[in-house]
Chain A
Amino acid sequence: MLEATDIIKRFGGLVAVSDASLTVPEGRIVSLIGPNGAGKTTLFAVISGFLKPDAGRITFAGTDVTGMRPHEVCRLGLVRTFQVVQPFANLTVRENIAAGAHNRIRGRAEALDHAGEVGKRLGMGGMLDQPAGALTVAGRKRLELSRALATGPKLLLLDEVMAGLNATEITEIVEVIRGIRDTGITILLIEHVMQAVMSLSDYTYVLNNGAIISRGAPREVAADPQVVEAYLGHGASERIAAGGAGA
């Protein structure tokens, strides 16, 4: 479904992504983990057309999408969410989601209807007519997800949709994501919440200093000494161990 090959992205002297490759097979949930500043969000931005890579190639569903604009990539069915959520604050939840629905739906009424359905499916039924600016963190994360889902994607790139949520909210959103996958949508997600990574993903890539240092089934990856090392000093090795033991 998605193939990113030898991606390099520099910001001035800083190499944010250096020679990273990853593959996402259709119908799977693949996760991308790594310490803060590893280059995960940058890699997402490159894949979704927000940044042009300095080298490398991205193919999606058989099409070379390298250097395409984000809206073109979205038309093809590849949609990202933002780590720092970006709601249309002055619009209602329904209008926010409808803006996504317009990717495939021309009519305003149909788009608003579809938005209502998607919102309800993601547990936002009671908030549809609230202004997006008034939502809680959890609400905003759901909105970000709903809006992306309403575009009718084949592949969703989710950037830390669980950050800032409490345990109950995380359990809920894990179910939501699994539900999305069950409708046939492929998912690539960046996540720090290890128990979610363990329970959700079929395959995991670990990015560190811009390079993929490990890949495989989540449990194997968590046990990889190189990965534990990468997380050391960030205080995350314990989290991995705990997550690995729990799964």
Chain B
Amino acid sequence: MTGTMGWRIFWLVLGALAIVAPWIITSGFWINFLILTLFLAFLGQGWNIMGGYGGQFSFGHAVFFGTGAYIQAILQSKFGWNPWLTLWFAMAGGVLVAAFIGYLSFRYGLRGSYFALITLAFAEAFRVLATAAEGVTEGGKGILIALNQDPERSFAMMQFATGTGYYYFILILTVLSLVVVWAMERSRFGAQLVAVRENEDAAEAIGVNAFRVKMGAICLSGAMTALGGVFYVQKFLLMDPNIAYGPTKSVEALVVPIIGGMGTVFGPLLGSAFLHTMGEITKEATQFFWQDRPGLDLIFYGVILVLVLAFLPNGLVGLIKGQWRGRRQGRAAERKKAVA
């Protein structure tokens, strides 16, 4: 009981801190740090639904991120649509691509590394396509979104003059993603998805339509990840084939939940916080070497990932839970000793 109570207080304090953070933290650098941490937690949560809960490991989640981002960027810049309207099309685009990839893979029973390779291939194909289709995407040059000059319309144009606006924007998205996954975990759909992850044949035998459940998971994952693309476009006001469909986003989306704890509600958030904190520390420590070496961050992710896979198979959440259980058992043992 005290454990649950303790956690409740912990989350309340953390929630309160998250809300007042922009008043406490005035440095643009640290606000940006929080924004990127939350953004990656959000992307990771999208991957977590399919990879963590569904056991379908995607190596090409950028395909959803990039599709959402490009739709958001193109509909605004070429057609002048409002970003609050385009975001729905961006999400629908993510779902459409997800449904297509899911149908192809799951109908033909592709599992494990085959599924991972299919997603990777799609992301790469979309990158090539986005580079070639200059008429729509401006090719490698990329799309720029017109900067909103009118401070009155910053909300209407989904562009915020300061980091605070973006901070709250991504905070809301992240909290929403936590709520979605929390609710999923407590639903029949979630239970069936986990059953499919654990053993697809056994799940089918007890009435789970594995195909439908996996389709549901990939579509939900696609929608969320596309929304991550929407946020990125609104924050950075540009999109090009490498940002959209390059390997960075795919890797980040999977590293974060694996580090934090796959198939857990808070794993991606924890993983992202850990990764960014470690990233900053490493960057400070190796500033001299680090500068202007793109790709170093991917190597860094790789090293962390290998370490976690080797020593923390259940991620940071597993570590915390293990610690907590260990302490409880320790206390119970002490009580027993005291009685004896």
Contact = CB atoms under 8 A, between A and B. Distances in A.
Contacts of B186: 108
A227 interface: no
Contacts of B208: 71, 99, 102
Given A71-B207, A71-B209, A91-B194, A111 B188 contact: yes
Given A99-B206, A102-B188, A86 B195 contact: no
B128 interface: no
A102 B202 contact: no
B197 to A, nearest CB: 8
A75 B207 CA distance: 6
Nearest to A95: B191
Contact of A100 (B199, B206, B210): B206
Interface string B212-224: 0000000000000
Contact of B202 (A82, A90, A106, A111): A82
Nearest to B195: A99
B212 to A, nearest CB: 9
B134 interface: no
Interface residues of A, number: 32
Contact of A70 (B187, B195, B199, B204): B204
B204 A71 contact: yes
B198 A91 contact: yes
| Chain B, interface SS category | helix
A79 B198 contact: no
Contacts of A88: 194-195, 198-199, 202
A151 B202 contact: no
Given A71-B210, A88-B199, A89-B198, A102 B205 contact: no
A88 B191 CA distance: 11
Contact of A102 (B199, B201, B207, B210): B207
Most chain B beta-carbon neighbours within 10 Å: one of A48, A71, A79, A105 = A71
B192 interface: yes
A148 B98 CA distance: 32
A79 B206 contact: yes
Nearest to B200: A86
Nearest to B208: A71
Contacts of A89: 198
Nearest to B187: A108
A101 B245 CA distance: 41
Nearest to A132: B198
Most chain A beta-carbon neighbours within 10 Å: one of B191, B199, B202, B210 = B202
B203 interface: yes
Given A95-B191, A106-B188, A111-B188, A86 B207 contact: no
30 contacts: A48-B205, A50-B201, A50-B204, A71-B205, A71-B208, A75-B207, A79-B206, A79-B207, A82-B202, A88-B194, A88-B195, A88-B202, A90-B198, A91-B194, A91-B195, A91-B198, A95-B191, A98-B191, A99-B191, A99-B203, A102-B207, A102-B208, A103-B207, A105-B188, A106-B188, A107-B188, A108-B188, A111-B188, A148-B206, A150-B206
Interface of A: 48, 50, 69-71, 74-75, 79-82, 86-91, 95, 98-100, 102-103, 105-108, 111, 147-148, 150-151
**Closest 6 CB pairs between A and B?**
A103-B207, A88-B198, A86-B202, A74-B207, A70-B204, A100-B206
